[in-house]
Amino acid sequence: MDEQHLKPIRDPQPMLERTIAEWGGHEDLWVFAYGSLIWRPDFDFTERRPARLHGWHRALKMWSRINRGTPQCPGLVFGLLSGGSCQGVVFRIPASAGLETLGQLWLREMMTGVYDPRWLPCVTSAGRVRALAFTLSRRSPNYTGELPDARYREIFAQACGRYGTSLEYAMQTLEGLRHHGIHDAALARLIRLAEVRQHEQELAQEDAQVSASSDDSRHADALNLSLPLTTVTTPTKERS
């Protein structure tokens, strides 16, 4: 998410203190990842499992004005919105490293206080775990609301921030999910929108090149037609 260059929406410190108190510090810490944390966690962990979270879903509906875009051309990152279900990954962090890891997560995810941290039950193949998840409220100013396909295509083609483009971010997340055997049809569809646009742009460029080549050929033909004809005469032999 976007960090120190944006004014905080809320003070993140009280939310960190509440999260620590709710965790308690006596058991291992579990963190639910649904976006870039899947493929770039940036913290040490002892276990990682695919997990399903009911009542929430992953959505590329959060504005990013630093990391994946700019204030003038905002990009998109994932938020965890209420409703449906979400397949992701849970990370297990030893209790002894929990406080340090929470501090790292707050520096990465909560500098502006945009997320609502929640302890949510996640279902895994080895049983249910209570994990920390960073959810997004639809009342947040960073929530995009519903975006038409044309707007996604535009953002994928133009938005780029300090960590790269929104399209790269989306593609890396899709690849990270597939690595864990998770299929996200909605995300795959959005990326296909970008691929179709890119293909259309390539075809348009090819058409422009063909048209330019045809124009050059017609121009050359016109020049040839405008040149005066040169008559070549053959000298006759003198009669003796």
Give the tens place of pLDDT for each residue, 120-151.
999 999 999 999 999 999 999 999 999 999 99
Question: Per the domain annotation, does 122 fall within a domain?
Answer: yes
Name the catalytic one among 27, 47, 109, 195: 109
pLDDT number for residue 240: 36
Question: Per the domain annotation, does 172 fall within a domain?
Answer: yes
Largest pairwise CA distance in the chain: 127
Question: Per the domain annotation, does 237 fall within a domain?
Answer: no
Using the predicted structure, report yes or no on whether residue 212 has a pLDDT greater than 80. no
Question: Per the domain annotation, does 3 fall within a domain?
Answer: no
Please state the rounded mean pLDDT for residues 57-69: 95
Task: Show the tokens assigned to 33.
Answer: 């990842």
Question: Rounded distance, CA 114 to CA 142, Å?
Answer: 7
Question: Rounded distance, CA 167 to CA 53, Å?
Answer: 25
- For the chain, the domain total comes to 1
pLDDT number for residue 168: 97
Whether the CB-CB separation of 122 and 30 falls below 8 Å is answered with: yes
pLDDT number for residue 111: 87
Please state the rounded mean pLDDT for residues 51-59: 98
Cβ neighbors of 4 (< 8 A, separation 6 or more) are: 111
Question: Per the domain annotation, does 203 fall within a domain?
Answer: no
Beta strands in the chain (DSSP E): 29-33, 47-64, 75-93, 116-124, 127-135, 160-161, 164-165
CA torsion sign for 104, 108, 109, 113 is: positive
For 82, the domain range is: 12-197
CATH number at residue 151: 3.10.490.10
Three-state DSSP at 29 gives strand
- To the nearest 10°, report the CA torsion of 158, 159, 164, 166: -100
Question: Per the domain annotation, does 238 fall within a domain?
Answer: no
Question: Per the domain annotation, does 204 fall within a domain?
Answer: no
Whether the CB-CB separation of 39 and 176 falls below 8 Å is answered with: yes
The answer to whether residue 154 is catalytic is no
Question: Per the domain annotation, does 224 fall within a domain?
Answer: no
**Residue 11 burial by Cβ neighbours in a 10 Å radius (0-12, 13-18, 19+):** exposed
